[in-house]
Amino acid sequence: RNDPDVRHVKVVRGLLQHHGVTVRTRGGDGGRILDPSYVDSANVGDIDAHGGSARLPVLFCRPLLHRLSHAFIPGLGGCDIGGRPVDFHFEVLRQFGATIE
Tell me, what's the pLDDT at 52? 66
Q: Which residues are catalytic?
A: 79
Q: What average pLDDT does the structure give for the chain?
A: 82
What type of residue sits at position 29? D
CA angle 32, 16, 28 (to 5 degrees): 10
What does pTM read for this prediction? 0.77
Whether 58 contacts 89, CB under 8 Å: yes
Taking the domains of the chain in order of start, what are their residue ranges? Answer: 7-95
CATH architecture of 7-95: Alpha-beta prism (3.65)
CA–CA distances in Å: residue 45 to residues 16, 28, 50, 54, 100: 15, 35, 8, 15, 19
Q: What percent of the chain has pLDDT over 90?
A: 13
pLDDT tier at 87, thresholds 50, 70, 90? confident
